Structure 1
Amino acid sequence: MDGPVVIEYLELLAREASAVEFEGPIIQARAAGADPAAIEELERAKVQALKVRDLLKRRARREAELSALYDTAGDLAALRDLDAVLEAIVHRARQLLATDIAYMTLHDPERGDTYMRVTDGSISAKFRALRLAMGAG
């Protein structure tokens, strides 16, 4: 494999390029009239580079999740108030899942439904007072 092509794939990895950008060297080689064997070698290099890209993304996500778990454990260990603990859990879940809203419902055995115990991200009083049937939500 040509050194500049290897460098190009490494540069794509280094700048966290989108998957579609990894087609660039192949498109350029075809436009330059490269022979089929060279194109096939580029295809193999692209596949390997994309595998490395996916591995790096998975490891970064795992690192972020472990860091958040560690932060959560520290936060929870410092809290003594039940409401504060539940709020911290819901807030952290919202961050980890990258959602606009997160909530925790608890079962109300007397009414046979669930009620919002903690919400994060919602400013609606109606949402915070919402009751849901068992299994809904």
Structure 2
Amino acid sequence: MTGGFGSDIVVASEDENTVKHAVSWGLNSTVKAQPNKRTVAELKITETDYNCTFEAEVHIRGRVIVRVSNGGSTQVVEGDIATILGDNLKAAARNDGLMSIQGRKVSWKVKGGLRFRFGVSQDVNVKSEKLPSQ
């Protein structure tokens, strides 16, 4: 006998990511059947679902150093990450409330949800019944 279940992880933001995992398991069980009887073995797997949402706030500050190579010349560009992201934020005219800049600190919110199932127990039930006489 074999069985299995799957789980989903979904992180929702500007870009949505879904990661799926599949797990399977095997069960080796010996069932002895008596003569002139019908024997049925039943595998019962109990699963539990879990659903939740989450929200986190990420903070970053610091300086960025970038080396740009163009043919034979190399240029070094250095700047504060809040200034660089702030310029991009203004250029994109983005005002969704997810990203904010206070001084040299950049903050943004990350929201998402989790949904998964997992096996709690597995049981084997064996039933026997007399075969109808012919």
Normalised by the length of structure 1, the TM-score is: 0.22
More strand by share: 2
Normalised by the length of structure 2, the TM-score is: 0.23
Q: Using CA pairs under 8 Å that are at least 6 residues apart, name the structure with larger relative contact order, 1 or 2.
A: 2
Which of 1 and 2 has greater Rg?
Answer: 2
More helix by share: 1
